[in-house]
Each structure stands twice: as structure tokens, then as C-alpha cells.
Chain A
Amino acid sequence: MSFKSITVVAALGAVAVSMPALAQTPKKGGTLQFAVVAEPPTTDCHGTTTFAMVHPVAPQYSTLLKLTGPHDNIKVVGDLAESWEQSADGLTYTFKLRKGVKFHDGSDFTSADIKATYERIINPPEGVVSARKAVHSDIGEILTPDAHTVVFKMKQVNASMVLHFASPFNCVYSAAELAKDPTYPSKKVMGTGAFQFVEYVKGSHWVGKKFDGYFLKDRPYLDGFKAFFVKSEAVVLGMRGGQFDAEFRGRTPAERDQLVSTMGDQVTVQEGPWITNILLSFNTSKKPFDDERVRRALTLAIDRWGGSESLGKVTLIKGVSGVFRPGASWSLPVSELEKIPGFWRDANKSREEAKRLLKEAGVPNLKLKLLNRTIAQPFTPAGIYAIDQWRRIGVETEHVQVETKLWFDGMANGNFDVAVQNISDFADDPNAQFNTLLSTKASSIAYSRHTDTRIDDLYKKQSGTVDPVERMKIVNELERYTLEKAYNIPLLWYQRIVVNHKKVKGWELPPSHFAGQTLVDVWLDQ
């Protein structure tokens, strides 16, 4: 089968999954078998940031709010919260909680559980690590006026707070269990989710079964699920061999084509922009990368539109956008993006300007070292593409690919000229997306080491702006400024490709592999 026809089949599959799935009546029963291409370091949602925890663990827990819907219509809805309101000054959030919700041990869920959960995230007790403590630091006080109302009083406005209440990492734990042992989530999986924990064999599999006492009476549809921990390379063969029906993180275009060509109409393909990008960070503490002209030349040299065409066929990266995912509500319109250096449509004009800038900066024959990870997709092709683009303006690049541990070490110690990194989070959120782009004073992960506090000031301003229209203006201004200064430059955005067996229904492709994994609405058409 030619590539073109494979693509067509894949595209038809993508349409097929979204249309009839909505029209069909969900069937009850069956066990969903899916692959997870990494293993969780812990079962405690608060203590890690990896999807490897989310995919097997999320079905057992609920969150206060949750993200739902496909990548082009993602929205925040209540999960344990029935409704919520935000005060006009943005300093108080009041949640009305569902009644009759039970934990898997039969105990009642109340506002005390929300309070205990969030206090654990904000002020983790001895022996507990809260990976997202910093993003909750604006919460000042948590009040529980009654068993089904919880009020969050903020120290200052944080316009991204609603998203954090919907974070898949903020699993709600039992206050009673936490009082007995604050580390219980790392030892016992017990929440209010649609599935009850059955078994976890390290390195092998995880089993969950339907929780009959789940608060949505007609859910879940599945009797249970079994997650297999496998290497990414094993997914295609495993699906072909009928060992599992789904893998939710994402496949490469080649794997998609292989599955479509061998399994035909037995699989469905869903694709969309992913909230993960490849970012090139310049070490501005080293010459000549402290010179804006050099950085601008290096971003101008990269033909992102052409790269999208070619790399999109063979790698995970495809989308052209600035600081936000292509198509996200925060993204700059393409017409505006095209005016920013590095995003011009005319590659030749860009390269001429790039050469001129390098000459002006006194480094017409620039040599640099590109620090990269030894991860085939998409780090290696991303690095190679950048090197090729820079070669076209006379820049000679040494590609230094190292293991993740050494890569972090190089970035932390400034042992690089330019580093390839990725930014990934569960939602389109200015606070999250700009965090890596801040000055070294404001962020511990600002590997570009710049000291431009204008970025920090605009960041704070947008985070503290309640009015969404006003916030959008500031975010756009911040994005334009960040892209023009080019301390860090986005290369391309990931394209999420999920290929599942056609019998897997009720799962819509969210823009993040962290979101939408509770399996509440998933059913098997068999």
C-alpha cells in the first residue's frame, strides 16, 4: 500500500471514530486491554509528573474538576464538583460538591477530603513529595463550611487556577486515610474513581475492575481494564497480535501506517496537535548567544513551514506555532505568527536576513554544539533538522546526543551552546507554557539563563489578570516579545497520533496524553 493511500485510510479512520462512536449506544461489559509504554515510579498522583502514572492510576481516582472533550473542543467540567463559582476579584473559588459519592472502602466523600488533598499538595508532610506544589502556592486557605462545600481563598490572583483544579495529577484522596498515613497513596490505590484497584505486578501489568458504587450510576461501561507495561517498540506487534487494543500516549507516523496497512479497518486513527513541543534553548550566558542578533539569525534560518511538511511525515513533530499548541485558544493567529522572525513563509528571505545578522554580529562562520537526548522520536530528527537548517546559513553544528541523565546535567550546569528540550503539560496554560521561558531569577528550569525581567513582569501580570480578554492581550504581547527575543525558540509542536482497535469506543483524543484517561466513558463494541 502506498503512503498516500495509507494516509487516506488513516484519515478515514479518524473520521470514522468520531462520527459513529457518538451515534452508537454504548455497550456494557468487557475488559479494555491497553499498553503503557513506561512504568510509573509511584502510584501517588501528587508525587510524579509522568503519563506512566496517569494511564493506569487515573481510572481509580476522581479530581475536583476535569478536562474533557477532544483536542479541538477541550473544556473544564466538574468531576467531584457539581458546580463552582469564582469571585469577581478572582480571589475566592467556591465549589459545591456531589453528594452520595463513596470511596472504594465504602466511606463517604466530603469536603474534608478535598481540603486534605489540596493541603497535602501545598504543604506535603514529611516523607511526601508534591511535584506540583509551586503551581498551587497561590492558594492561601481552604475552608469547608459544610460537608459538601469547599472554598479556596487565594493569596493572589492566579488566572490558571481553574485548570489546576482540573489537573489529572490532583487525585482526591481520603482524608481519613491520609490522617492515618500521609503516604498511603504510594502504598494503596484507593479513591472514588470509576474503577477499583485489583493488582499491580511491577514491570508487567496493572488490573482494575468496575467500581459498582461509582457516583455516576450508568458508568463505567467497562467491567474492568488491564494495562500492560511494555516498551514503545512492542506496541505495534502487540496490537497486531491481539495482545492489547489500545495505547493512548501516541504512535509515530510510521507505526500508524504500519498498523493501518496490516490491520486495515480493524483500527481507528485519531490525530491532533499535542500540548508538547520541541524547544531550542540558547545558553545566553555564553558568547555569542548573549547577542540577540545571533539568536535571531538562528531562528530565522529554520524553515518551520517546510519542516512541518517533511518532518510531519516521519516524526512526531508537525505543528507550526509559537509558545502555544497550534489551534489553542491562546495561540497567535497564523497571520500574525508569519510576521515574527523565524516564522516567515519565505525561507530564502529569512536565510538572507540570518546571514546578514551573523555577519553583523561578527560570527559569519559560527560553530556551535547542540546538546540533545538519545531519544529517537522526536529528539534525534529534530536535532538533525535544526543542524541542516543552520548549515544553510554557514553554521557548523556538532550534535551531542547523550542519555537523559547527562542531558539534564549538561543543561543544569550550562555545558551547552544550544539545547533541545521539550515542554509538556496537561492543558493549554500560559503559566505552564511560559515557565521555562522566564528569566533565571524567576524559574529554576530556565535553562537559557537569560535575565530579561520584562518577560517575568508580563508573566506575573497575565497570571494576575482575571478578565480573560485582558489576559489574552497580555499573553499575546508576552508571546510576541518572547519569540522576538529568541532566548528559547520553538521548533515544531508534537502531533498526537493514537491508533486503537476499532472496538474501543468513547475515547476522544485530548490534546495531552496526561488528560482524559479516567476511562469512565470508554466502552467496547464487541
Chain B
Amino acid sequence: MLGYIVRRLLMVIPTLIGVAVAVFFLIRVMPGDPVVVKLRADGAAVTEETIQAERKRLGLDKPLMVQFTDYMIGLTRLDLGKSLWTGESVANEIAIRFPVTLQVAIMATLIAVLIAVPLGTLCAVYRDTWIDNLIRVLAVSGLAIPGFWLGMLIILALLYFFNWLPKIGYVSIFEDPVANLSALFWPALSVGYRYAAVVTRMMRSALLEVMREDYIRTARAKGVYESLVTRRHGLRNALLPVVTVVGLEFAFLIGGLVVTEQVFNLNGIGKLFVDATARGDFTLIQGLVLLIATVFVVVNLLVDLLYAALDPRIRLT
């Protein structure tokens, strides 16, 4: 097992190098000058001389291959460079925002799993009854309603019924759990609903599939209680595809909370990504893409490990 994990982690290195090289050149192929945006976007008459001075300060006057070499050398020291917009280290810019997005993603995942696993199971157990139909309607609604729109409805409802809005600004859960949860619960809920809908449908279909297997029939033939058959033999095996979906959705949320973060004024990775893209902040975009790639790779590894924990037949060698 340990050897497997080490090998998988080592495989991350060429993957990330590939991502780093691709994103470095692809961003620079796009037309437009981030320095011009930075200095002239507000309508001010900044001279070409000043633009060149800023370009020089940021190292953008160097030949592309020199910039690339500097960047790759920096990566070997885990130095992601400095933001072209703020001049701050990219690692710092990300570190400020990452906890917010990570917490929302974790909370949304918890909400999704807590809702979806029981509901999906109920759907499968009571297939084609009114319970199944009702839950399926809720699930389809969850898929149809965009998370950001639900977020806007939540905000308007909070304002209308309670004349209250979650506080702007991030407070760590370790500092003030109440303030933290009261601010992050609502975005997590708005994202978690859609997430739960996806997982509910997956749970239902996986469990229905499993319940048709021979070993389930055998268990029933042996006289095992139906609830035990479902819980011990059905649910555990049906969780394998669900874990995959949960993992992928979680990884997606790290970079995919763009609009939800805007709606709830969250200072997260998605908002940073949008700002960096609009400004053409090359170095920050590179850092963010690497972060998201890393999250996907790590989450995939965790999903594989969870597979082995759930199904003893799977051996990680």
C-alpha cells in the first residue's frame, strides 16, 4: 500500500510539469498586455514609457524562454512567482483564499453526502413509489437550478424574512465557529443542493444495480433480513461509483465556485481565478491551474485508497 502511494505521488511530478509547461505557453499566446490593463483600465493617460518601466519591473521585457526558465527554476524551489497585479507572492495570494474555498467545498460535500446517501437509498428501496418519485423530482430540480441562482434566492430570502445577511469577510472556524459557519453555511447549501442531486441519482442507480447481483439474491435466500441485505451487502458495494462522483465533484468545487463566491462575496479561489483571468495576471493563473491540477490528482488518489477500504477485493499494489 505504501509503495503504491509513493508511486502515485511520484507520478504527480511529471503531470504537474506538463500542466505547468502547457499553461505557461498557452496563456502567453493570448493577445493583450496585462500591464496596459493594470495602468490604463480606469481611463488614465499613462505614457508608453511608464508601461515599459512596469513591464521591466515585472520581468515581462525578458525573452519568453528566459521567463520560462526562471519560472521552471522557481517551481523546483516551490516558488510560484509573484502576481503581476499585486506584486505579492502567488503562494501567498492563494494561501489567503484557499481555506475559504476548501471549507465551502468540504461543507458542501458533507451536505451532499448526508442528504444524498439516505435519499438515494430510499429511492432504490422504494423504487417507483411516491417516495422515489418525490425524491427524483427534488433531485432533478437540484440539477436544473444553478447553484448561484439558488444562492441569490437564499440571500433574498434571508433579507426578506430576517433582514439579515451573512457577515462579509472570512473568520477562521477555529477563531469564531459561529461567525464562520453562519457565513459559509449558505454558500455550501446552495452548492450542496446541486451536488446532492448528482450524488442521489448516482446512489439510486448504483444501489439498484447492486441489488440485482447474485450475492444479494444469495443473502436473501439465506434468510438475511432485507434491511441488513441493503445495508451490509448492497450499500457498501453501491458506494464505489458514488465515491468517484463525490471525489470528482469535490475537486471541481476547488476551482468551480466562481459565481457562488461572487454571489456570497467570498474571498475564495474561484473569485481570484476570475480576477486573475480578467487582468491577464499570468503568474497567478499559472499558480491557480497548478493548484487545481494538484487537487484533482490528490483527490483521485484518495478515491482509489477509499476504494480499497470499501471493497476488500481491490488490492493497491
Contact = CB atoms under 8 A, between A and B. Distances in A.
A156 B49 CA distance: 21
B265 A42 contact: no
B42 interface: yes
B287 interface: no
Contacts of A201: 96, 169-170, 267
A202 B93 contact: yes
Interface string B204-243: 0000000000000000000000000000000000000000
A241 B39 contact: no
A408 interface: yes
A409 B33 contact: yes
Contacts of A237: 155-156, 159, 165
A144 interface: no
A129 B49 CA distance: 10
Given A243-B165, A424-B44, A186 B87 contact: yes
B96 A243 contact: no
A423 B280 CA distance: 22
Given A49-B39, A129-B57, A131-B50, A238 B265 contact: yes
B47 A230 contact: no
Contacts of B47: 133-134, 444-445
Interface residues of B, number: 51
Contacts of B34: 405
Interface string B244-263: 00000000000000000011
Contacts of B175: none
Given A124-B53, A243-B165, A131 B31 contact: no
B267 to A, nearest CB: 4
A405 B32 contact: yes
A488 interface: no
Q: Which 10 A-B pairs have the closest CB atoms?
A: A241-B165, A405-B32, A424-B43, A49-B44, A203-B267, A444-B48, A435-B45, A134-B47, A204-B267, A409-B32
Interface of B: 30-34, 36-50, 53-54, 57, 85-88, 93, 96-97, 155-156, 158-159, 163-165, 167-170, 262-263, 265, 267, 271-272, 275, 278-280
7 contacts: A39-B275, A49-B46, A135-B45, A228-B169, A241-B165, A405-B31, A445-B46
Given A238-B165, A445-B45, 20 more contacts: A39-B275, A41-B87, A42-B87, A48-B39, A49-B42, A130-B50, A131-B44, A131-B46, A132-B46, A186-B87, A202-B267, A228-B265, A405-B31, A405-B279, A421-B43, A425-B44, A432-B45, A435-B45, A444-B47, A445-B40
Interface of A: 39, 41-42, 48-51, 124, 127, 129-135, 186, 201-205, 228-231, 233-234, 237-238, 240-244, 276, 403-406, 408-409, 412, 421-425, 432, 435-436, 443-445
